[in-house]
């Protein structure tokens, strides 16, 4: 799971707050991250039926009178520690720090309908693959 590299700050903070070693905090962060990832298919769903899509379009229209919207998309760089190795520089973004690109789509009620977190930081968001 690539996203585990993102958890370094969470791991250190959690370890400090709980008074446990870095290795114990690392195991806890890994277990919790896996549990959350396993729940994603149950909770992160893009509207796939015509009625669900119609309702989403209506909900967005009610907010800003913007027609035909199925989701609000945003992307961000999530900082990680250098993964090391021959390909580490692929993760260095244009701002100079190591990161993973994360793209999220949300519905009108602020529910995530899609999350992609697999692209290295040097990949330009404008040229990010769609799948």
pLDDT at 107 over 70: yes
What is the model's pLDDT at position 61? 96
Encode pLDDT of 66-87 as tens digits.
Answer: 899 999 999 888 888 888 888 8
**Strand 112-120 versus strand 72-79 pairing type:** unpaired
Whether 62 and 125 map to the same domain: the answer is: yes
Q: Which domain holds residue 129?
A: 44-131
Tell me 108's DSSP state.
Answer: T
- Buried-exposed string 53-87: b where 16+ CB fall within 10 A, e elsewhere: eeebbeebeeeeeeeebbbeeeeebebbeeeeeee
Residue reference for tokens 């973004």: 93
pLDDT at 113 over 80: yes
Whether 51 and 106 map to the same domain: the answer is: yes
Read off the pLDDT band of 58 (50, 70, 90).
very high
Whether 85 and 102 map to the same domain: the answer is: yes
- d(CA 62, CA 77) in angstroms, rounded, equals 31
Number of domains in the chain: 2
What stretches of 4-123 show up as alpha helix (H) in DSSP?
A: 8-18, 22-43, 50-64
């Amino acid at each position: 799971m690539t996203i585990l590299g993102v958890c370094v700050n969470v791991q250190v903070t959690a370890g400090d707050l709980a008074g446990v070693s870095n290795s114990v905090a690392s195991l806890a962060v890994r277990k919790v991250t896996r549990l959350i990832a396993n729940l994603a298919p149950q909770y992160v769903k893009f509207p796939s039926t015509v009625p669900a899509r119609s309702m989403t379009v209506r909900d967005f229209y009610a907010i800003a009178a913007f027609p035909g919207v199925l989701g609000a998309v945003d992307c961000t760089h999530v900082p990680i520690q250098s993964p090391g190795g021959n390909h580490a520089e692929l993760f260095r973004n244009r701002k100079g720090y190591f990161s993973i690109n994360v793209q999220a789509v949300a519905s009108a009620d602020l529910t995530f309908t899609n999350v992609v977190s697999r692209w290295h930081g040097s990949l330009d968001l404008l040229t990010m693959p769609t799948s």
